[in-house]
A and B are shown apart, each in its own frame.
Chain A
Amino acid sequence: MALNRKIAYINLTTGEIETKPIPIAVRKKFLGGRGLDMYLMYNHIKPGIDPLGPDNVACVSAGILVNTLASASARTHIGGKSPLTGFVGSANMGGFFSPEMRLAGFDHLVIKGKAKKPVYLWVHNGEIEIRDASNIWGKDISETRETIRQELGDRDIKVLTIGIAGENLVRFANVMTGLKNAGGRTGMGALLGSKNLKAIAVRGTMDIKIAHPVEALEYNRHIIDMVVAAKVSKTQGRLGTPFIWGATNSWGGIRTRNFQANQFEYCDATEPEAIDEYAIGYASCFGCQVHCRAKYIVPSGEYAGVYDEGPEYTVQGALTAETGCSDVVALLSGSHLLNSYGIDCLEAGSMIAWAMELYEAGILTDKDTGGLELRFGNAEALNEMIHRIAHREGLGDILAEGPLRAAKKIGKNSIKYLIHVKGMSNLHSDERATPALALNVAVASRGSDHLRGRPAIDLYGLPEPVLRRIYSQPVPYDGPLTSHWKDYDGKPWMVRWQETCYEAVDCLGICKYHTIFLGPNFPNFEEWSKLLYYNTGLELSPLDIWNVADRCYNIERLFNIREGLTRKHDLLADRYYDEPTTRGVPAACGKSIDRKKFNKMLDEYYEHHGWDENGVPRPETLKKLGIDKEPSHML
Chain B
Amino acid sequence: MAKVLVIDYEKCTGCRICEQVCAVKHEGVVNPVRSRIKIIKWEQEGRYVPMVCQQCESAPCQSICPVKAISRDESLNRVMVDYDICIGCRMCVAICPFGGMAFDPLAQKVMKCDFCDGDPQCVRFCEVNAVQYLDASEQSTEKQVAIADKFSGALQKVAAAIASV
Listed from nearest, the 7 A-B pairs whose CB atoms lie closest are A284-B15, A295-B46, A284-B13, A207-B29, A208-B30, A291-B13, A289-B127
12 more contacts with CB within 8 A, not counting A69-B20, A288-B15, are: A142-B44, A205-B31, A207-B34, A210-B28, A224-B127, A281-B10, A281-B46, A284-B13, A285-B15, A286-B16, A287-B15, A307-B44
List chain A residues, Cβ under 8 A from B48: 283
- The reply to whether A217 and B44 contact each other, CB–CB distance below 8 Å, is no
Count chain A residues whose beta carbon lies closer than 8 angstroms to a beta carbon of B: 37
The residue from B20, B29, B33, B44 contacting A287, defined by CB atoms under 8 A apart: B20
Annotate A47-76 by CB proximity to B: 1 below 8 A, 0 otherwise: 000000000000000000001110100000
List chain A residues, Cβ under 8 A from B28: 209-210, 213
The yes or no answer to A280 lying at the interface (CB within 8 A) is: yes
The yes or no answer to B138 lying at the interface (CB within 8 A) is: no
The yes or no answer to B14 lying at the interface (CB within 8 A) is: yes
CA distance A205 to B31 in the complex (A): 6
Counting residue pairs across A and B whose Cβ atoms lie within 8 Å, the total is: 88
- The reply to whether A69 and B124 contact each other, CB–CB distance below 8 Å, is no
CA distance A179 to B44 in the complex (A): 8
CA distance A287 to B105 in the complex (A): 23
The yes or no answer to A544 lying at the interface (CB within 8 A) is: no
The yes or no answer to A116 lying at the interface (CB within 8 A) is: no
Interface residues of A (CB under 8 A from B): 67-69, 71, 96, 103, 142, 146, 178-179, 205-210, 213, 216-217, 220-221, 224, 228, 280-289, 291, 295, 307, 309
List chain A residues, Cβ under 8 A from B20: 67, 69, 287
Annotate B37-65 by CB proximity to A: 1 below 8 A, 0 otherwise: 00000011110100000000000000000
Among B10, B27, B30, B121: residue with most chain A CB under 10 A: B30
Interface size of B as a range: 20 to 34
- The reply to whether B15 and A207 contact each other, CB–CB distance below 8 Å, is no
- The reply to whether A221 and B125 contact each other, CB–CB distance below 8 Å, is yes
List chain B residues, Cβ under 8 A from A228: 127
Shortest Cβ distance from residue A488 to the other chain B in the assembled complex, whole angstroms: 40
Q: Given known contacts A103-B32, A224-B125, is B13 in contact with A283 (CB within 8 Å)?
A: yes
- The reply to whether A217 and B15 contact each other, CB–CB distance below 8 Å, is no
- The reply to whether B15 and A67 contact each other, CB–CB distance below 8 Å, is no
Shortest Cβ distance from residue A270 to the other chain B in the assembled complex, whole angstroms: 22
The residue from B15, B24, B43, B45 contacting A286, defined by CB atoms under 8 A apart: B15
Beta-carbon contacts under 8 Å, B115-151 to A: 121, 124-125, 127-128
Would you mind naming 10 contact pairs between A and B with Cβ atoms under 8 Å apart?
A69-B20, A103-B30, A207-B31, A210-B29, A213-B24, A217-B25, A280-B46, A282-B13, A287-B15, A307-B46
- The reply to whether B15 and A178 contact each other, CB–CB distance below 8 Å, is no
List chain B residues, Cβ under 8 A from A142: 44
Q: Given known contacts A205-B105, A289-B15, is B24 in contact with A217 (CB within 8 Å)?
A: yes
Shortest Cβ distance from residue B30 to the other chain A in the assembled complex, whole angstroms: 4
List chain A residues, Cβ under 8 A from B94: none
Closest chain B residue to A158, Cβ basis: B43
CA distance A289 to B12 in the complex (A): 11
List chain A residues, Cβ under 8 A from B43: 178-179
List chain B residues, Cβ under 8 A from A68: 30
- The reply to whether B21 and A206 contact each other, CB–CB distance below 8 Å, is no
- The reply to whether A291 and B24 contact each other, CB–CB distance below 8 Å, is no
